[in-house]
Protein backbone atom coordinates (compact mmCIF):
# COMPACT_ATOMS: atom_id res chain seq x y z
CA UNK A 1 0.00 0.00 0.00
CA UNK A 2 2.11 2.89 -1.18
CA UNK A 3 1.39 6.18 0.54
CA UNK A 4 1.13 9.17 -1.79
CA UNK A 5 0.32 12.01 0.61
CA UNK A 6 0.61 12.56 4.33
CA UNK A 7 -1.35 15.72 5.14
CA UNK A 8 -1.04 16.95 8.71
CA UNK A 9 -3.31 19.59 10.21
CA UNK A 10 -3.48 20.84 13.79
CA UNK A 11 -6.18 18.25 14.54
CA UNK A 12 -5.52 15.22 12.34
CA UNK A 13 -3.01 13.53 10.06
CA UNK A 14 -4.61 12.27 6.85
CA UNK A 15 -2.92 9.47 4.94
CA UNK A 16 -3.69 9.08 1.24
CA UNK A 17 -2.63 5.80 -0.36
CA UNK A 18 -3.10 3.31 -3.16
CA UNK A 19 -3.99 -0.33 -2.49
CA UNK A 20 -1.82 -2.86 -4.27
CA UNK A 21 -4.92 -4.91 -5.07
CA UNK A 22 -6.40 -1.92 -6.92
CA UNK A 23 -3.88 -2.03 -9.75
CA UNK A 24 -6.49 -3.80 -11.89
CA UNK A 25 -8.97 -0.93 -11.61
CA UNK A 26 -8.89 1.32 -14.64
CA UNK A 27 -10.31 4.38 -12.92
CA UNK A 28 -7.77 6.31 -10.85
CA UNK A 29 -8.61 6.67 -7.17
CA UNK A 30 -7.03 7.10 -3.77
CA UNK A 31 -7.93 5.81 -0.31
CA UNK A 32 -7.71 8.12 2.69
CA UNK A 33 -8.07 7.82 6.42
CA UNK A 34 -6.58 8.78 9.74
CA UNK A 35 -5.08 6.77 12.58
CA UNK A 36 -7.61 4.29 13.93
CA UNK A 37 -9.73 4.03 10.77
CA UNK A 38 -10.34 0.44 9.75
CA UNK A 39 -12.37 1.30 6.65
CA UNK A 40 -10.90 4.06 4.52
CA UNK A 41 -12.68 6.59 2.37
CA UNK A 42 -12.31 5.97 -1.39
CA UNK A 43 -12.07 8.97 -3.69
CA UNK A 44 -12.26 8.86 -7.48
CA UNK A 45 -9.67 11.10 -9.14
CA UNK A 46 -11.20 11.03 -12.61
CA UNK A 47 -13.01 12.25 -14.52
CA UNK A 48 -13.41 14.58 -11.56
CA UNK A 49 -12.77 14.21 -7.84
CA UNK A 50 -15.75 12.51 -6.19
CA UNK A 51 -16.45 10.15 -3.31
CA UNK A 52 -16.86 6.44 -4.04
CA UNK A 53 -17.18 5.36 -0.37
CA UNK A 54 -17.16 7.45 2.83
CA UNK A 55 -15.50 4.69 4.83
CA UNK A 56 -15.62 5.66 8.52
CA UNK A 57 -15.39 9.40 7.90
CA UNK A 58 -18.04 11.93 8.89
CA UNK A 59 -19.53 14.22 6.26
CA UNK A 60 -17.34 17.07 7.53
CA UNK A 61 -14.21 14.89 7.25
CA UNK A 62 -15.20 13.73 3.78
CA UNK A 63 -15.53 17.37 2.70
CA UNK A 64 -12.03 18.01 4.10
CA UNK A 65 -10.36 15.12 2.29
CA UNK A 66 -12.19 15.84 -0.97
CA UNK A 67 -10.88 19.43 -0.85
CA UNK A 68 -7.36 18.08 -0.31
CA UNK A 69 -7.80 15.57 -3.15
CA UNK A 70 -8.92 18.35 -5.49
CA UNK A 71 -5.87 20.41 -4.55
CA UNK A 72 -3.50 17.49 -5.25
CA UNK A 73 -5.45 15.82 -8.07
CA UNK A 74 -2.75 16.29 -10.72
CA UNK A 75 -0.03 14.96 -8.44
CA UNK A 76 -2.20 11.99 -7.47
CA UNK A 77 -2.86 11.20 -11.14
CA UNK A 78 0.87 11.34 -11.92
CA UNK A 79 1.56 8.99 -9.01
CA UNK A 80 -1.33 6.70 -10.08
CA UNK A 81 0.29 6.31 -13.50
CA UNK A 82 3.62 5.41 -11.86
CA UNK A 83 1.79 2.95 -9.58
CA UNK A 84 0.08 1.32 -12.58
CA UNK A 85 3.43 1.01 -14.36
CA UNK A 86 5.07 -0.61 -11.35
CA UNK A 87 7.31 2.41 -10.74
CA UNK A 88 8.13 3.82 -7.32
CA UNK A 89 5.52 6.17 -5.88
CA UNK A 90 6.78 9.33 -4.18
CA UNK A 91 5.31 10.40 -0.83
CA UNK A 92 4.30 14.05 -0.50
CA UNK A 93 4.35 15.41 3.06
CA UNK A 94 2.37 18.53 3.93
CA UNK A 95 2.06 20.30 7.28
CA UNK A 96 -0.78 22.78 7.37
**Quick one: pLDDT at residue 23?**
63
For residue range 27-65, list pLDDT tens digits in order. Answer: 899 999 998 888 999 999 999 999 999 999 999 999 999
Residue 94 has pLDDT above 70, yes or no: yes
- What is the DSSP track for 22-38? GGG-SS-EEEEE-TT-S
Angle at 45 between CA 34 and CA 62, to 5 degrees: 35
Cα distances (Å, whole numbers) of residue 93 to 38, 52, 73, 79: 22, 24, 15, 14
Residue 11 has pLDDT above 70, yes or no: yes
Sheet holding 29-33, edge to edge: 50-53, 41-44, 29-33, 13-17, 3-8, 92-95
How many angstroms separate the CA atoms of 34 and 74, rounded? 22
Range of the domain at 33: 3-95
Cβ proximity of 36 and 13 under 8 Å = no
Peptide bond into 7 cis (omega under 30): no
Domain count, the chain: 1
Amino acid sequence: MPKVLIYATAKVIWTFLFYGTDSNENRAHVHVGKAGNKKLCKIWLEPEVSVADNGELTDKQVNQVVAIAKKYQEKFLDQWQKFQNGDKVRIIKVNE
